[in-house]
Structure 1
Amino acid sequence: MPLLHPRPAPPDDGERGSAALEFILVGLLLLVPLVYLVGALGLVQGQSLGAEAGARHVARAVATATDDADAAHRADLVLDSITSEYGLDPASVDVAFACRPAGAVCPRAGATLVVTLRTRVALPLVPPVFGLDRLASIPVEASAAQKVSRFWGSR
């Protein structure tokens, strides 16, 4: 029976077994920013939808009100509802009213009421240190137009 000669051991390969480590490291370096980006964009989209819904519903509520006091009350109710529904920060929500054609008091009978709602979306995981949370916020604005009844104030 012939003696089998054992094969010589392969030379030690310094790259052996590092593919898994490289995959994990590169995966984390790419995955973490991607997950943050998806989360931040989702937050901005949700707040944008809230601003748009707020502008539209406030315009409709004010345009269908009977007088100034009723319009202010309706606008406040709608804004409270929208801020709680969409998670808007009530302190950062600003609402502006304008009428077309420009000129007289707004709202007025027969005019087109334009409501503009502005807010800021704070990016997630930004600490409130040195004012970074104010710097790392994205402005969001939405406008809506609604025709005011020609019987405004006469009911």
Structure 2
Amino acid sequence: MRRWSRWWSNDDGSASLEFIVAGVVLLMPIMYLGVALNGVHNQAMGVQTAARQIARALSSGSGSPDTVLAAVAAEYGMDPDAMRVEISCRPVADPCPAPGAFVTVRVTADAVLPLAPAVLDIAQSTAIPLESVLVHRMPDGP
């Protein structure tokens, strides 16, 4: 019995083992949280930038919304097919970006968490919906 109690109270070499176990148990979730928040923030910035750049392209007539969306999606590493764009005008006009109208650009996407498996649709069930709405007044005329 005395031998067992001496082994139990001996702490030689256990600090490194405790550090490794505690480091893995605590550090890995914190690192994943940092990576996941960085990815979601990057995609949120991509959605916001897409709405802003599409509104600017409509007001200046410099490009189509699809081209701008593809460029922004490539810059932020997003899938342009997974992003949805809605453009509406107030007052309602036949050509939607009419001079003097207020154009509302709404861009939505789903931010998928990193390392989420596609099995059992876990990746889509843990996706975070992102939305950006921008209202821009069109110039009065040429």
The two structures have a TM-score, normalised by structure 1, of 0.79
What is aligned with 2:56? 60
Q: How does 1:1-150 map to 2 (within 5 A)?
A: 12-15=6-9, 16-17=11-12, 18-65=14-61, 74-101=64-91, 103-105=92-94, 106-150=96-140
Which 5+ residue runs of structure 1 have no aligned equivalent? Answer: 1-10
1:9-40 deviation line (CA, Å, top 9, x unaligned) = xx724142323212211111010000000000
| In 1, Cα distance between equivalents of 2:23 and 2:117 | 26
Percent of residue pairs bearing the same amino acid type: 36
The two structures have a TM-score, normalised by structure 2, of 0.86
Aligned length: 136
| In 1, Cα distance between equivalents of 2:70 and 2:82 | 13
* Structure 1 vs Structure 2 CA RMSD: 1.9
Which 5+ residue runs of structure 2 have no aligned equivalent? Answer: none
Greater helix proportion:
2
